[in-house]
Structure 1
Amino acid sequence: MGPVLLDFPFMGRWTVQNSPANRVPSHGTHLLGTTYAIDFVAVDGRGRSAPPSWRAVLGAEAPEGFTGFGVPVLAPVAGSVAAVHDGEPDHEARRSPLALAGYALTQRERVRRGPAGIAGNHVVLATGSGAALVYVLLAHLRRGSVAVAVGDAVVPGEILGECGNSGNSTEPHVHVQVCNSMDWERARGLPLAFRHPETGSPWLPRNTEVFSVR
């Protein structure tokens, strides 16, 4: 089976981190079905996720100051809502090496909490049927923004929630992955691709690539 083809789950200007076009596994692990996961960070016209500040150099920053925080996250495919989780806090963002080093020390606790600790607020869509049934996870949503419930039918472009900084996230971004199961301890990550915003052909952007979706 080829890559699962998705629409981009947002509008606006974005860049890419942890792309499977650069390496597999994209996040350095196969755990929790993240083999082909990809992260998208909203940026401004200068390619910045947030304006420069002294806090960016020395410590943590409020997530509200980032371009992506609160941007609508859209369904990238038609399907049904298989799982939702909300209520996790949007913690401070971290861009400085010092702040990132401190954040790394709390990684074990987030892993111990399982999907809620890693994915934060999230929505899982089930799409396809039979042997072609797959699950699309959209993670790190803003607390209180989830706009769908389990069992809802959704169409591409429907609002699922908003970009946030919950779970295992150092700055507001949208994490997307496709899996064969919601048994996260055993789930196998599946290849994905996106419709190019201009040509509509399957495309997988690489790390640091900047593009716009209208």
Structure 2
Amino acid sequence: MEFRWLKQNNAAEAIVVFGGWAVGPEVFWHLDGPQDILFAGDYTDLNAELPDLSGYSRVSVLAWSFGVAAYAHWQQERPDPFQRKAAVNGSLQPVNRGAGIPPAVFRRTMETLSLESYQGFLTRVFGAPQEAEALDVPARRAELLAVEQRGDAPQMRFDKVWISSGDKIFPPANLARAWAGQNVTQIDAPHAPFGRFSHWEELFQ
């Protein structure tokens, strides 16, 4: 795992984004707001440490897809610097028949991973065909294996949970079970719903 700044202008607030698998920060570029943005990706290991965020008056975390479980695993046994937490189309049980991606589907994705299957994955993520993307197949397969072996994340409450009705990666019914009793909002969108938003702040409301 690594952290890298997408935007750093000495703002009053920082948002730490735990992104999804094999999808870079480009899905967030259009989101506007005064906040500084720190992006986390590649969950093959979770050894990275946050930079010093003590100068910010507020620090929030936004976790998407496999970033939800990765964040919860990472946060365990570390001081929690976040005043607000939002989860988008992910689960603390990422590989789970009733609360995440069914294990057979996950295993098939991992075992058949190729440039061609990755393009199909991107189509499901965004709800429409995407331009061809390069992929380091062995590295991304290793990341999936790490997610599977890491298993369920510790239980954690989020201030806001988003579930897309058109999610073709995490079954929406499974996410509804996973987040029962928390502050859930359903949205008519694909697995990557960020095109429905224009400002970072909307994702925490």
TM-score, normalised relative to structure 1: 0.25
Relative to total residues, which structure has the larger strand share, 1 or 2? 1
Instruction: Indicate the structure whose relative CO is greater, using CA pairs within 8 Å and at least 6 residues apart.
Output: 1
Q: TM-score, normalised by structure 2?
A: 0.26
